[in-house]
Amino acid sequence: MSRKLRVFINGFGRIGRTLTRQILCGHGGARVEIAGINDIASFDTCAYLLRYDSVYGNFPFPIEAQSNGLLIRGRLIPVTHASDLRTLDLRDVDVVLDCTGKAGVRAFAEAGIAAGASKVLISGPSATADQTIVIGANDQDLRDARIVSNASCTTNAIAPLLRILDLGLGIERAHVTTVHCYTGSQPTVDQPNGPPERSRAAAVSMVPTTTSAADQITRVLPEFAGRLTVSALRVPCLSVSAVDAVVQLAEDPEEPFPDFLRAAFAGSSLVGLCEDPCVSSDYRGRPESLVIALPETRSIGCKQLRILGWYDNEWAFSARMLETAKLMASR
């Protein structure tokens, strides 16, 4: 594509605002233009929440709420409040980035197409999408799909790691625990919220819960069906999550496991390596899908490997969304 990719952000929550920040601040958003934003919140609220961010800090450029949008860096980004995208004219939009959390319903996901946009990328799991794509796992299989799911942040963290390990050494079986920071789906005080454990205050306890990652991983890497289990803990941290993987390998690496990992992911923009004894907050704003903590790598016997990896579940996931959108537009 010789011109800039034009995206429309539907839903201005955590992922919608992170995408906006990345595009406007040049973090992976080169040659991407925001055609518009749609959200139920007022212009002033959208401007305020983009200007002041509890995770990533203050926005580095002035933001001014106008009568019909947000003025940022000398450009007016139109903002609408449509409950149905079909009421808008999106004929100049290449990809709608649907960040509403509602696009699991096919009719909702198709609204952007009906409004004239070429394609829709959903910021989460969706059984109604034409394809589920994870960069580094199955992006080579992307067809000319009009509605694509970007899976989950955890799936994006785990799948590229498992794929490389399986190709290099073979994986007989694996169990992965995701240690995930709390999100807006959890209450800040105890209150009814679906499963009993998810009804507890998010910032007070570690909460065992379920994750869609096991289903999503076998969707993008079907060869792992029957070989993988995934469990989850929500923990009282504001940002950055971790995966703790125990893998039973089919073959022994010829070199020590840390050296194998260094060679396997050398130069990778998707899976990083950290040699230092860091903590979760050190990985805030990292764009990689996963950063392996080499000091925490353990081999148990000859063929069992434990890997701890960190991922910024908002920043890295948003970076993958932009990459997937560019890939979709090229098809």
Rg from Cα positions in the chain: 20
pLDDT in tens, 52-67: 999 999 999 999 999 9
pLDDT of 17 higher than 80? yes
Q: What is the C-alpha separation between 29 and 124, in angstroms, rounded?
A: 20
- Domain 153-313: CATH class, spelled out: alpha beta
- Over range 135-156, report the average pLDDT: 97
Catalytic residue among 99, 153, 181, 237: 153
Ordered by start, the domain boundaries in the chain are 5-123, 153-313
pLDDT of 166 higher than 80? yes
CATH code linked to domain 5-123: 3.40.50.720
pLDDT at 127: 93
| Packed helices 213-220 and 153-168: angle between N→C axes, nearest 10 degrees | 50
Residues 319 and 290 sit within 8 Å (Cβ to Cβ): no
Is 153 noted as a catalytic residue in this protein?
Answer: yes
Could you tell me the pLDDT band of residue 29, with boundaries at 50, 70 and 90? low
Q: For residue 203, how many other CB atoms are within 10 A of its CB? A: 13
- Over range 261-277, report the average pLDDT: 96
Q: What is the C-alpha separation between 297 and 289, in angstroms, rounded?
A: 18
Are domains 5-123 and 153-313 of this chain identical in fold?
no
pLDDT of 224 higher than 90? yes
Q: What is the C-alpha separation between 322 and 19, in angstroms, rounded?
A: 8
The residues facing 65 across adjacent strands are 70
Average pLDDT score over the chain: 95
Q: What is the C-alpha separation between 151 and 137, in angstroms, rounded?
A: 11
- The enclosing H or E element of 315 equals helix 315-330
Least confident of 82-91, 106-115, 185-194, 251-260: 251-260
What is this structure's pTM?
0.96
- Over range 195-214, report the average pLDDT: 94
Q: What is the C-alpha separation between 65 and 174, in angstroms, rounded?
A: 49
Q: What is the C-alpha separation between 141 and 128, in angstroms, rounded?
A: 18
pLDDT of 1 higher than 70? no
Q: What is the C-alpha separation between 264 and 251, in angstroms, rounded?
A: 15
Q: What is the C-alpha separation between 221 and 224, in angstroms, rounded?
A: 6
Q: What is the C-alpha separation between 285 and 54, in angstroms, rounded?
A: 13
The residues facing 70 across adjacent strands are 65, 77
Q: What is the C-alpha separation between 158 and 313, in angstroms, rounded?
A: 12
Q: What is the C-alpha separation between 289 and 95, in angstroms, rounded?
A: 22
Amino acid letter for position 92: D
